[in-house]
Amino acid sequence: MTDGDTEPMPFADLPEFLDALERDGELVRVRAPVDPYLEITEIVDRVVRAGGPALLFENVTGYDLPVAMNVFGTERRMAKVFGAQTLDDVGRRIAELLRPEVPHGWAGLKDALGRLAQLRTAPPKVVRSGSCQDVVWRGDQVDLLRLPALHTWPKDGGPYFTLGLTHTRHPVSGQRNVGLYRLQRFDRTTIGMHWQIHKDSTAHYAAAENAGEPLPVAVAFGCDPVLTYVASAPLPADVDEYLFAGFLRGERVELVDCVSVPLQVPASAQVVLEGWVDPNERRPEGPFGDHTGFYTPVEPFPVLRVQTVTMRRNPIFQAIVVGRPPAEDAFLGKATERIFLPLVKLLIPDIVDLDMPIEGVFHNCVIVSIAKRYPKHAHKVMHAIWGAGLLSLAKLVVVVDADCDVHDYREVAWRAFGNVDYAHDVVHTLGPVDHLDHASYQQFWGGKLGIDATAKLPEEGYTRGWPEIITQDPEVVERVSKRWPEFGISLSDAPSSQRGRR
């Protein structure tokens, strides 16, 4: 999908991406019958934890559609989504676009114009027809029981669709939102909409509810993998997901008008549900074994009444299993960490690098490094993070010096455990937390902790003189490295790296 340093070409749709994975030996077709009640979860969970391949279940008991899973289950596959070698390469594309330097000379001007030209491919375009509408179910034909929903954990409240791109528009501003939300299938025509309090679709529904009007909704499954990733990304409410996806793809996203609701969906989607969410109608939803590793409780959520289902001929459904990390969604989160780093640094220029550990389910822990310049610089960065979009939900912020690799959790632990006076170097405050956070004593808000693990300055009250870190003489390191075969010491059983990232 790439040629040297040229811009990546997009995958046209999900089947094309699966074909590419299969050619690379990164997809296994499971032809044996598998049960969507718990059995698929157990298979996928084992494969994800082993860093295994994407899976295409071709014989799901009770359904005619094959189900693709673990498509995003490694950093390598996530990078492949964007036609890149690494996720940092994708972040660098954004950083190049954001470079503020004034161009110097003809070469600089060409470079600047080239970067701006990338945006011409970004806006989505509406086409007259799309393969997602090859087959149409209307009225009594609608039967969600024919679409493979998974019962992933024993105490789940029922079967769920877990990887649908939910489309809404704000009834006043007209601003589109595309998000990933779990969808509990209640019966042939209704599903529960798990719109958390901090999500943009919740604001759209609230505006419709205030006006006493139903809200149109469309849910697309099995989209081009870039589109599926973008639906998970924490974009600001005024940034169109398909504009951002067009930039990442290097090609405009083709959308098609829905059949029965005033919305647009990706023309290449595999399956689309169209319907309306009525104002003031809610239904108990859950429990659900969520990405926190715990069951989320039953709560009342809006209900989508599906009027139309459209699909491709011979569609492939796509699903995901979430649960105690690591799970497949961890790598969607890692993509966001690396791709959005330039944007975070634009907002908080003090940050050198950032890591959001998978075990912290991303919104719980943020590790950042800074080039410390003045007293309490680390404290300033903590508060900036707690005021930055969805980073505001972070419960623990650890700040280290720039010479610390934030992805090396052993190094970070050494700094945070041994370089901190907890009477002086800790910030304890209150603020918003994730809707799913079960640990907070009050839902939606709770305690925050910031740890300043940087070297302390005399101006901060540290008068003892900060000691120098032990390091080996570089010449000795190089000499021993060259002579290593002479010593006959095998380190094959030792980890090749201490980096915390996968």
Q: How far is CA 390 from each of CA 169, 226, 374, 376, 395, rounded to the nearest angstrom?
A: 21, 21, 27, 24, 11
Give me the residue label for tokens 């999900």: 14
Give me the residue label for tokens 């790439």: 2
Is 290 catalytic? The answer is: yes
58 burial level (CB within 10 Å; 0-12, 13-18, 19+): middle
Find the radius of gyration of the CA atoms of the chain: 24
* CA 164 – CA 182 distance, rounded (Å): 8
Phi, psi of 244 (to 5 degrees): -65, -40
DSSP H helices in 233-354? 241-249, 329-339, 341-347
* CA 169 – CA 215 distance, rounded (Å): 8
Nearest to 454 by CA among 380, 385, 394: 380
Strand residue runs (E) in 286-339: 288-289, 295-296, 299-311, 317-318
* CA 317 – CA 415 distance, rounded (Å): 46
Tokens of 75: 């950093």
Given a contact cutoff of 8 angstroms between Cβ atoms, the answer to whether 375 and 459 are in contact is yes
List 156, 224, 240, 290, catalytic entry? 290
Q: How are beta strands 67-69 and 317-318 bridged, if at all? A: parallel
* CA 368 – CA 377 distance, rounded (Å): 12
* CA 385 – CA 449 distance, rounded (Å): 12
Given a contact cutoff of 8 angstroms between Cβ atoms, the answer to whether 452 and 379 are in contact is yes
Going by the DSSP 8-state scheme, the letter that residue 422 receives in this structure is T
Helix (H, G, I), strand (E, B) or coil at 278: strand
Nearest to 17 by CA among 87, 80, 89, 84: 80
Active site members: 290
